[in-house]
Amino acid sequence: MKTPPSVVTAEEYENYHPGNVVDSSKTKAWQGLHFTQFSHPKTSSGAPRPATADHILAFGCQGAVKGESKLNSDKWRPYVWYEHEFFLGSALANDRDSRWETLSGENDDLLVAYLHLSPRILYENAQRVINCNPDDIELPSKFGFKDPLMLQLGLSIKQELGGGNFFGNLFVETAANLLAVHLLQHYCVIKYPVKDFPQSAKNMRAIQKAKDYIHDHLDEDLSLEKIAKVTSMSSFHFARLFKEYTGSAPHQYVVSERIKKAKILLSTTKIAINRIALEIGYTPNHFSQLFKRIVKVTPASYRKQTC
């Protein structure tokens, strides 16, 4: 058997993990975050996996197992892993081997999801949000714990990928930053507090500036980083403050404004539907699916109803 490399990328990790890939973000242009869902075999006598260049946040999606595992070539330790519990493995120090048997029924699939988070995201948030030296970050591995926020984000990312990536990279960027700051606050050896941005006229003007930028660039591939840059805030602080002031996350607001503009163009012009899609930053196929999902009718039907 070929000896696996000592460190692999998130995409390469899919080739070493036991079981089958059910879903993957490999074909998406996501920056700093990779998602894979695996279907596990019911039993395993050994499943060595190399370390990854990213931090691993893995959680059980369905089923439970008991067995033994070892991390970073340490000794075997017994474990039980239940649905919605996490494994946290620090980048470059998360090579594992495990052997297990299912605790679920014979007809129940064992599903596990892996979030690979780039250390770069942690470093950037350490500098811009926490205002600490990123070289001081120490993220120890941890197994068999529950975290409601991480689970909510993980399931949302899973749903976003399975639902056609309708909210796009803007949503994934927001989720990656939230995960990074959450890890800095709660799972690093040193727990880093996050300073709040109090509501003020200055911040209100900054949010309005961001909204104006969004309106002027609906036809572009908008990213959280680009929009936040207009406000001179970190991506994390901007996303949190934007939701405070508007009631919507940036990715939700962008989709809402794009659909709003599409409705106006469909009902007041004769511009081709494919052209309208491009004018609001979508491919024609993506636009048609998203419009029907939100408005409940196709763009063509909406045009007939409103013209």
For the chain, the structural domain boundaries read: 7-186, 201-247, 253-306
Please give the angle made by the CA atoms of 107, 109 and 114, to the nearest 5 degrees. 175
Given a contact cutoff of 8 angstroms between Cβ atoms, the answer to whether 142 and 77 are in contact is no
Give pLDDT, residue 1: 43
Query: Hey, is 20 helix, strand or coil?
Result: strand
| Three-state DSSP state, 224 | helix
Per-residue buried b or exposed e for 145-170, using 16+ beta carbons within 10 Å of the residue's own CB: eebeebbebbebbbebbeeebbbbbb
Residue 184 and residue 126 in contact, taking contact as beta carbons nearer than 8 Å: yes
Sequence-separated (6 or more) residues with CB below 8 Å from residue 51? 6, 7, 8, 72, 91, 92, 93, 94, 95
- Do you know the residue count of the chain? 307
Which stretches does DSSP call E strand in the chain? Answer: 7-8, 20-24, 33-40, 43-44, 51-52, 55-62, 65-71, 77-81, 86-89, 96-102, 110-117, 142-145
Q: Rounded to an integer, what distance in angstroms lies between the CA atom of residue 180 and that of residue 244?
A: 20
Tens of pLDDT along the chain (307 residues) come to: 456 688 999 999 999 999 999 999 999 989 999 999 999 999 999 989 999 999 999 999 999 999 999 999 899 999 999 999 999 999 999 999 999 999 988 888 899 999 999 999 999 999 988 888 888 899 999 999 999 999 999 999 999 998 777 788 899 999 999 999 999 999 999 888 887 766 688 889 999 999 999 999 999 999 999 999 999 999 999 999 999 999 999 999 999 999 999 999 999 999 999 999 999 999 999 999 999 999 999 999 999 999 7
Question: CA dist 8 to 5, 13, 59, 85, 122, Å?
Answer: 7, 6, 20, 24, 19
Q: State the CATH class of domain 253-306.
A: mainly alpha
Q: How far is CA 89 from CA 56, 115, 116, 118, 301, in A?
A: 5, 10, 10, 12, 49
DSSP three-state, residue 2: coil
Q: Coil, helix or strand for 102?
A: strand
The Cα 186–Cα 130 span in angstroms is: 13
Task: Return the CATH number of 7-186, one of 1.10.8.50, 2.60.120.10, 1.10.10.10, 2.60.120.260.
Answer: 2.60.120.10
Find out whether 81 and 130 touch, Cβ atoms under 8 Å.
no
Q: How far apart are CA 203 and CA 201, in angstroms?
A: 5
